[in-house]
Amino acid sequence: MTAADRLGDLDADVLIVGAGPSGLYAAYYAGLRELSVVLLDSLPEPGGQLMALYPQKPIYDVAGLPEVTGAELTRALTVQAEMARPTWVLGEQAMTLLRNPPGPGRRFTVTTHRGRRLCVDGVVIAAGIGSFQPRRLDAAEAHLGCGVTYSLGDLTAYRDRDVVIVGGGDSAVDWSLMVEPIARSLTVVHRRRSLRAHPRSVSRLQQTPARILLDSEVVATHGDSRLEAVAVRHRDGTESRFPADALIAALGHTATLGPLATWEFELSGRQIVVDERMATTLPGAFAIGDVTAHRGKVRIMAVGFGEAATAINNLATELRPGEPVFPGHSTDLMATASIPEPL
């Protein structure tokens, strides 16, 4: 992985904002079209939500892969993206976009929060749900990092431990199903009267030995240097105390486009409006994946991969007038392009 110098400005054909699944695949496809690429993400590692939130979660709807975890898919996509020899700028957030005057230079200058300038001719926004932060569980903040987390992380860390998972949505139930077989005990705490996850997943969880506490909430955590127990208050006002050396709060996330919302393309809520080419209303800027809004949009990963190829191929024809949108078959491209085979 070629990381950019911390302070240096960069010049490339294409800037891809977001190194999640769609952005990683877009980088690879840009390499097939022999475009130079800068891959920018505010997170410190590739993978976007897959690595930040769901690295151990099984994924079943990626073509050709009957089952793959978020971490496994991220590793494979990163290897594929590396074939394009992108310059990686990780841990930096895109802030401003300036349209440069017509001339011999690049069309855009994008500045990051560190002051780095990225001079490019095309921009592809692959920002997912944008910048996201977990909703906090105030009652557990005292033990954050000492037994309390907001994502699953390494599954093996929960082996033979007393685990509490707070929440009732898909993430809470999915994580519960993954943790329950290896934990010493599992307690699921949800403040509503029913779990809100997929009915099949809820049914599977109900068939396990997990303790499921509905109409309840964690009101305190206990322990000196590390988490040792949690206090749970029930709807009738009574409280119970349970041993716990790990608590995962799965309460959802708040998301925002952040500085991207001030750029010059049309928005629909928190999504960027695109046409059938994945082009935004700002000439030279495209958007792909969950960040986009268009008629018939289906927000699944497989669609994001298709949008990445569509955006890059249409951008390539803008940057090199006369080239066809259809790039040719990948077998032929790999034989003629300067993109190397993976190691």
238 occurs within a structural domain: yes
Measure the CA–CA gap between 235 and 193, rounded to whole angstroms: 10
Q: In the predicted model, what is the mean pLDDT of residues 22-32?
A: 96
Question: Which three-class secondary structure state does DSSP give residue 260?
Answer: helix
String of b and e for 68-99 (b: at least 16 CB within 10 Å)?
Answer: bbbbbbbeebbebbbbbebbbbbbbbbbebee
pLDDT exceeds 80 at position 337: no
Residue 190: CATH number of its domain: 3.50.50.60
What pLDDT was estimated at residue 5?
A: 61
pLDDT exceeds 90 at position 227: yes
> What confidence category does residue 52 fall into, taking pLDDT thresholds of 50, 70 and 90?
confident
Same domain, 213 and 324: no
Residue at a domain's end among 215, 249, 283 = 249
Same domain, 161 and 204: yes
pLDDT exceeds 70 at position 336: no
226 occurs within a structural domain: yes
What pLDDT was estimated at residue 315?
A: 97
What pLDDT was estimated at residue 273?
A: 96
Domain count, the chain: 2
Span 151-189, pLDDT tens digits: 887 889 999 999 999 999 988 999 999 999 999 999 999
What pLDDT was estimated at residue 105?
A: 87
What pLDDT was estimated at residue 257?
A: 84
Same domain, 58 and 14: yes
Looking at residue 286, its amino acid is F
User: Percentage of the chain surpassing pLDDT 70?
Assistant: 95
- Secondary structure letter of residue 159 according to DSSP: T
342 occurs within a structural domain: no
Q: Count of alpha carbons within 13 Å of 338, Cβ hemisphere only?
A: 5
Span 276-296, pLDDT tens digits: 999 999 999 999 999 998 989
Span 109-118, pLDDT tens digits: 999 999 999 9
Span 80-92, pLDDT tens digits: 999 999 999 999 9
What pLDDT was estimated at residue 246?
A: 97
pLDDT exceeds 70 at position 127: yes
pLDDT exceeds 60 at position 343: no
pLDDT exceeds 80 at position 319: yes
What pLDDT was estimated at residue 328?
A: 82
What is the gyration radius of the CA atoms in the chain, in angstroms? 23
Structural domain harbouring 128? 2-132+253-336
Q: In the predicted model, what is the mean pLDDT of residues 96-106?
A: 91
- Secondary structure letter of residue 149 according to DSSP: E
C-alpha distances in Å from residue 182, one per residue of 157, 162, 178, 227, 297:
10, 10, 8, 19, 38
198 occurs within a structural domain: yes
Reading the block at residue 203, the tokens are 């049914």
Nearest in space to 25 (alpha carbons), one of 335, 336, 303, 262: 303
Same domain, 126 and 19: yes
What pLDDT was estimated at residue 160?
A: 97
Same domain, 119 and 261: yes
Same domain, 99 and 185: no
Residue at a domain's end among 220, 249, 278 = 249
Phi then psi for 291, rounded to 5 degrees?
-75, -10
pLDDT, the chain, mean = 92
pTM score, whole prediction? 0.81
User: Percentage of the chain surpassing pLDDT 90?
Assistant: 78
Lowest mean pLDDT among 204-218, 238-252, 322-336: 322-336
